[in-house]
Structure 1
Amino acid sequence: MDQSNYWYLQNIDAVGIFCPDKMMSRTDLHQEKTFKKGEFIYLTDDDSDRIYMLVNGRVKIGTFGDSDKEIIKAILGKGEVFGELALVSEGKRKEFAQAMEETEVCIVKKDDLPFLFRERPAFLQFFLRLFGNRILTMENRLERLVFKDSRSRIIDYLLELSEHKGERVGYEIVIRKFMTHQELANLTATSRQTVTTVLNDLRSKELIKFDRRRLLIRDRDKLAQELS
């Protein structure tokens, strides 16, 4: 897959920086922790003083709107970084991070970053790229929300998933650990019923196959044609 817009820099060993025990490096600059399914890694208004990298598992990033309605901003997987707004003097968290399954993370304290930036310039490049890609991702999602209808938003997001998190198997693309219909609805500002209707329609056209564990895109180009 083309990962130019993914939330990590391919040629930087983020694991070696965030989890230095795996590289026999300084271990006093990091912490490893495991969270159970449903456990919050941090909550809105918690101190924003740490940055996290996902070693295993999945994490949901979101906020709560009116009447405590959950608004999902992102669902992250292995190798992705979150909590990075601590770098821009965010005093308190403006979002929550919650483990969607048993999840292992490596943690770097904000106060240790200047040392890491000096010792490993590639780490600074990593965060510059991360922020740039985050901005592009948010701009794309805002454009999708403003200019596209519900069906197009759902299809467009499936295409985004296939590009960033898909694994090519022959002519098909598989996305493992696929999300629930409600989670997909939250991410695309649609309803669960609309998501179910669109996915079933795409399946009837033999463009996709899906279950609770994975999504299989049979032909990405033909799926993209559904947007025209």
Structure 2
Amino acid sequence: MADKSKLWYLENFNLFSSLKQDSMMELNKISLEKEIGKNQPVYFPNEPSNSIFMLKTGRVKISRYSKDGKEMILAFINPGEVFGEMAYLGEEERTDIAITVEPSFICAINKNDFAQFVEKNPALNLRLTRLIGLKLKSYSERIEDLVFKDSKQRVISFLLKLAEENGKKVGDQMFVKPFLKHQDIADLTACARQTVNDVLTDLRERGIIDFDRKKLIINNPDALRVILK
């Protein structure tokens, strides 16, 4: 981290890519960076929603818990992504919990300071609205998957969405780094871990995908789409 400044990381967030240098300097001034160890909370449910967060390095898990203590994972946040953004829309208290899944560097901005910053950069408001809309759409699609798809289809649908949102296309293949643990996929798709393992193994044996702990390669995305029809 020592060789890269906070400003350098802010400049590499897609959300801020169109801002002018003086705006970036102001953003740098109003943001605070935090280094948080693995499996540490960023915020808890019912805490005041005072800040917007941006993940510079590491990974963060966003979850909700039912009254009986069952965890529902909503998303994994990767470097370059914003989270806790509902504070910007007037959320008073957090409804979910954010926990690091590996050592992370995070930028935090007070929501009032951020609102004033957006007023000076109105194009940013459109980007934020689109970002929040896409996240809500993603959550809605996950709920539809849970209701209308069986466990195998849910895993395959998840792989395709993961590749579309975080992957890189090289020829006909799609590469995703890093890949998730089987238990994480199970939690995100409401499946048993063994089900995830069986589906992934079957797809690999058929040559449709390949994977290890560090990456997922989808050799034939169309074959996955056919299974979902």
Shift in Å, 1:65: 2.6
Given that 2:54 and 2:106 are in contact with CA atoms closer than 8 Å, whether structure 1 keeps it comes out as yes
5+ long unaligned stretches in structure 2: 1-12
User: If the length of structure 2 is used for normalisation, what is the TM-score?
Assistant: 0.87
| Corresponding residue for residue 216 of structure 2 | 215
Structure 1 stretches of 5 or more lacking a match? Answer: 1-9
Note the alpha carbon deviations across 1:82-134, whole angstroms, 9 max, x for none.
Answer: 10111233222111111111111111111112311221112211211112112
The whole-number CA distance in structure 2 between the counterparts of 1:148 and 1:194 is 14
**Alpha-carbon contact 1:12-1:122 (below 8 Å) kept:** no
1:167 and 1:141 map into 2 onto residues whose CA distance is 22
The answer (yes or no) to whether the contact 1:48–1:92 under 8 Å persists in 2 is yes
CA-atom RMSD, angstroms? 2.2
CA contact (8 A) 2:52 2:108 kept: yes
Map 1:191-202; keep pairs closer than 5 Å: 191-202=192-203
Distance, in Å, in 2 between the alignment partners of 1:100 and 1:22 is 32
TM-score by length of 1: 0.87
* SS across alignment from 2:175: strand
The CA deviation at 1:16 is: 6.3
Q: Secondary structure at the match of 2:42?
A: strand
Counterpart mapping for 1:1-228 below 5 A: 12-13=15-16, 23-25=24-26, 27-228=28-229
Letter in 2 for 1:147: F
Count how many residue pairs are aligned between Structure 1 and Structure 2.
217
Change (3 A) 1:106 1:16: farther
Matched residue of 1:98: which SS?
Answer: strand
Q: What is the CA distance between 1:66 and its match in structure 2?
A: 4.8
CA contact (8 A) 1:174 1:215 kept: yes
Percent identity for Structure 1 against Structure 2: 38
Moved more, 149-158 or 109-118: 109-118
Tell me, what secondary structure is at the counterpart of 1:87?
helix
Give the SS at the match of 2:228.
coil
1:5 corresponds to? none
Compared CA separation, residues 203 and 111, structure 1 to 2 (3 A): same
Letter in 1 for 2:56: V
